Amino acid sequence: MMKTKNCKLIFLPKIVDGIDGSISVAESRRDVPFEIKRIYYIYDLANENAIRGKHAHKTLEQVIFCINGSFLLALDDGINKQEVVLDQPNCGVYLGTYLWHTMTTFSKECVLLVLASDFFSEADYIRDYEKFLKMVRKKE
């Protein structure tokens, strides 16, 4: 159960095809609650001190999956904090707006896949935590 606002677990169907492996499919507005405009993946996280994220978004929505290995996703909605281990390729987390997120504790060969609702825009990022907290409080 997710205790932070603006996020939820997303489970994609897992179709097991015997000796030929498994497949999971994510479709816009079906499995993913928005139209997908950007897909990116993060890899080569061999440095045990690697930290990704450390920001929130004003309008961008995302779903993040760990398609290989595992990592720790820390979530903060300005009031509640929560940590989730992602280690199943068909289970992701929907990240809504104004949700501070940080990724750490990457296993070797970890690969993250992110589906995003819009194209990259630096203006959409909130990279200062104190500014994030002020913005969240103002929205309440």
> pLDDT tens for residues 23-55?
999 999 999 999 999 999 999 998 888 999 999
| Spatial distance between the Cα atoms of 23 and 103, rounded to a whole number of angstroms | 25
pLDDT the model gives residue 139: 74
| Spatial distance between the Cα atoms of 62 and 92, rounded to a whole number of angstroms | 10
What is the three-state SS of 54-123? EEEECCCCEEEEEEECCEEEEEECCCCEEEEEECCCCEEEEECCCCEEEEECCCCCCEEEEEECCCCCHH
Cβ pair 94, 101 in contact under 8 A:
no
| The domain defined by 7-139 carries CATH number 2.60.120.10 | yes
Which neighbouring-strand residues pair with 28?
32
| Model-wide pTM > 0.85 | yes
By annotation, the residues acting in catalysis are: 55
pLDDT digits (tens, 9 = 90+) for 76-132: 999 999 999 999 999 999 999 999 999 999 999 999 999 999 999 999 999 999 999
pLDDT the model gives residue 48: 80
The number of C-alpha atoms within 13 Å of 42 and in the hemisphere containing its C-beta is 19
